[in-house]
Structure 1
Amino acid sequence: GGFYHDTGEGGVSRYHRQGGGDLVWELGSGYFGCRAADGSFDAAKFADTASDPQIKMIEVKLSQGAKPGHGGVLPGEKVTHEIAEARGIAVGQTCVSPPAHSSFSTPIEMLEFVASLRELSGGKPVGIKFAVGNRWETLAICKAMLETGLRVDFMVVDGGEGGTGAAPAEFLDHVGAPLRQALVLARNALVGTGLKGDVRLACSGKQISAFSLASSMALGADWVNTARGFMFSLGCIQSLNCHNNTCPTGIATSDKARQRGLVVADKAIRVRNYQRNTVKALMEVVGAAGCEHPCELTPRHVMHRVTEDIAYTAERAYQLVRAGQLLNAPDETQLAQEWRMAQANSFLPAS
């Protein structure tokens, strides 16, 4: 297809490596692919896997939009030999991903963990993926970067509308900030602290159309990830049976009979065409805006309807902060209170 593949948190499998494509290794709280017997992080296993030249970046998943702060369970009946091989767990044994990482618990500790992964991987870019909850938590990460001099190479902001059929309905519908709100916060945090030049910003969460991509990039995203769009191109009908091993289209199941519905030779072409046609449509939108490249899109290209007869540019509608404003004049921003609450040594608010 000519585009990179995020592995998801289940480890780097033999199938990810087929075809020689570029990979971003997502590392969740289960540390699959670099997991010790007790479920903790194993540095030696990580270094061994990360040395694979196909792995271009490492993404530490703090949370995901579909079920932020929830963790996950992979039923034992779905743990086949292939999945056990990728995850480093026992065949047929139910596997739990805890809600939080065991390797760190504060913003500074998280940055130290990221720095260690960068060193263990031979200098490959290491970033974080998260759904926005309390705004001071995102600002705390920025304060920690300023205090320590350590940096994440990128942030991927996952909107609360992100989905998986394995997520509880309440989490799917109500927990986590929506992408537009979360992306604006992350953009304001990085720009307001002068870190945007050091940290690349990406986003995900129902990003399935050219307009979704264009508007997100205009608001500060350097690139956009999508899972849902590719799932649709595979034939996903959103039956919400991902965790039951009864996916009717054969996508999210290890049941051989059901997997027959997923005809790789046909679906691969559909996946490739979805990506190519979406990027083509994006460039048509970019050209219509008078730009030559998506990086030229700015908040002034996005109009937001405030009332029935009034529309503002995104710059005004979302109260975007200026470069360094959180450092020089935080009280002039809408983040003044959360900025005071944020602290580098804890995700909890300062009292």
Structure 2
Amino acid sequence: MREKFIRWGLVLLVVTWVISILIKTHYWIPILLSCIYFLGLYNSFQTKHAILRNFPVLGYFRYFFEEISPEMQQYFIERETDGKPFPRNERSAAYRRAKNISDTVPFGTQLEINNRKYEGIKHSIYAKSPGEELPTVLVGGDQCTQKYKASLFNISAMSFGSLSDRAQMALNRGAKKGGFYHNTGEGGISPYHLEGGDLCWQIGTGYFGCRDDNGRFSPEIFKKNVALPAVKMIEIKISQGAKPGHGGVLPGSKNTPEIAAIRHVQPGMTIISPPSHSSFSDAAGLLRFIQQLRDLSEGKPVGFKLCIGDTREFEDICAQMNVLKIYPDFITVDGAEGGTGAAPPEFSDGVGMPLEPSLIFVNRTLTNFNVRDKLKVIASGKV
């Protein structure tokens, strides 16, 4: 293909130049063809892109159509109820509500409600006006002295660094306005989380915001930050649905001096969170760590977040609760559907248990060990 392009392209170029010189007009045509020819000549010998090496000019059409394929899918193929993670009709409703435009639609639902996966709410025929106070759930067991009234729906974990400062400010102001809490993500508490909304401080394996110079948990730094009035709960992140068993990565290009100061790391360095915690290595250690954080926070609710993998490990945690008489105040179950976390596709697609069977298993196991009434269960992961 390369030899044909060089030979016949050169013939076409020479013929075009001769004709243009003879008729003394339309010089832009051979100039354009010359540019295309020399571009193709370069592609014929480069070794970076196999497609452009084999198809020096036509190969660009492949990249062009690949570039616009998401738009073609969205505007010409995708239906109102298609699309991941949110279909077009849900996105449209969010846009309309954000602009204070009517979100009502005619002609009823477009969903296949006779499908066995249809989910709906059982309503009452004696409807009443909603009360002034929104429904809440009291989080905090007998070992917790600063119980927290949590909203039914809250903002899940997204760190500063993965989201911008403006995004975090908007989310926290929304939490204040709506009366729900804002999970910080494992990146620590930034100034942009402190816009008046309640916080659930998430602590990951990197202990960002409460670590010493060696990357281990620092009780002194933790005690200083957990005393912030905005911090209402503490969540120990064991694993995440998007990447269970895989530590997070903060690229050096994103590790600005501001982010480094918040996370207590060196700026400009790529920071890799370990896959597991250094403060504990078994169920008993996890529960003792929970009690340590509860004591350091002077009785604030402490729980842990995980994506269910080996079910025997969770059963062991439940068994140790009864042995040590230490109970978390809540457990956040993250489904393998994942959320904001970036991860290798092998982890996103093939590791962990989905949310629905996870919730069923967690609820049943807690009940079997007679500890279900001592804690609350939170669901996460593309609910």
TM range (shorter): 0.5 to 0.7
Q: Name the structure 2 match of 1:193.
A: 369
Aligned to 1:158, which of 334, 338, 341? 334
Matched, 1:86 2:239: no
Post-superposition offset of 1:147: 0.6
Contact 1:64 1:131 in 2 (8 A): yes
Question: Which structure's relative contact order is higher, taking Cα pairs within 8 Å and 6+ residues apart?
Answer: 1
Q: Name the structure 1 match of 2:277.
A: 101
Matched, 1:23 2:218: no
Q: Name the structure 1 match of 2:325.
A: 149
Matches of 2:193 and 2:205, distance apart in 1: 20
Contact 1:66 1:167 in 2 (8 A): yes
Q: Name the structure 2 match of 1:317.
A: none
Matched, 1:6 2:183: yes
Contact 2:188 2:209 in 1 (8 A): yes
Contact 2:243 2:341 in 1 (8 A): no
Matches of 2:215 and 2:335, distance apart in 1: 28
Matched, 1:180 2:328: no
Aligned to 1:68, which of 236, 239, 244? 244
Post-superposition offset of 1:108: 0.6
**CA offsets, 1:201-242, max 9 Å, x none?**
0111111xxxxxxxxxxxxxxxxxxxxxxxxxxxxxxxxxxx
Q: Map 1:98-247; keep pairs closer than 5 Å.
A: 98-164=274-340, 166-207=342-383
Matches of 1:148 and 1:205, distance apart in 2: 30
Matches of 1:165 and 1:178, distance apart in 2: 16
Contact 2:205 2:277 in 1 (8 A): yes
**CA offsets, 1:91-111, max 9 Å, x none?**
111111000000000101110
Matches of 1:198 and 1:165, distance apart in 2: 30
Q: Name the structure 1 match of 2:253.
A: 77
Post-superposition offset of 1:80: 1.1
Aligned to 2:209, which of 21, 25, 33? 33
Aligned to 1:46, which of 199, 214, 222? 222
Residue 184 to residue 106, structure 1, CA distance change in 2 (3 Å) = same
Q: What amino acid is aligned across from residue 152 of structure 1 in structure 2? A: P
Post-superposition offset of 1:117: 0.3
Residue 106 to residue 91, structure 1, CA distance change in 2 (3 Å) = same
Contact 1:160 1:172 in 2 (8 A): yes
Matches of 2:287 and 2:341, distance apart in 1: 32
**CA offsets, 1:278-311, max 9 Å, x none?**
xxxxxxxxxxxxxxxxxxxxxxxxxxxxxxxxxx
List gaps (5 residues or longer) in structure 2: 1-173
Matches of 2:299 and 2:273, distance apart in 1: 27
Name the count of aligned residue pairs: 206
Q: What amino acid is aligned across from residue 193 of structure 2 in structure 1? A: H
Matches of 1:165 and 1:191, distance apart in 2: 31
Contact 1:161 1:179 in 2 (8 A): yes
**CA offsets, 1:25-72, max 9 Å, x none?**
000000000011010000000000000010000000000000101112
Matches of 1:33 and 1:165, distance apart in 2: 19
Matches of 2:272 and 2:199, distance apart in 1: 24
Contact 1:163 1:172 in 2 (8 A): no
Post-superposition offset of 1:194: 1.3
- Percent identity of paired positions between Structure 1 and Structure 2: 51
Post-superposition offset of 1:81: 2.1
Matches of 2:188 and 2:358, distance apart in 1: 27
**CA offsets, 1:86-141, max 9 Å, x none?**
11111111111000000000101110010000000111000000000011111111
Matches of 1:177 and 1:9, distance apart in 2: 22
Post-superposition offset of 1:172: 0.9
Contact 1:13 1:85 in 2 (8 A): no
- Aligned CA RMSD, in angstroms, stands at 0.9
Q: Which of 1 and 2 has greater Rg?
A: 2
Contact 1:159 1:182 in 2 (8 A): yes
Name segments (4+ residues, structure 1) moved above 6 Å.
none
Matches of 1:176 and 1:76, distance apart in 2: 29
List gaps (5 residues or longer) in structure 1: 208-351
Post-superposition offset of 1:165: 5.7
Q: Map 1:256-335; keep pairs closer than 5 Å.
A: none
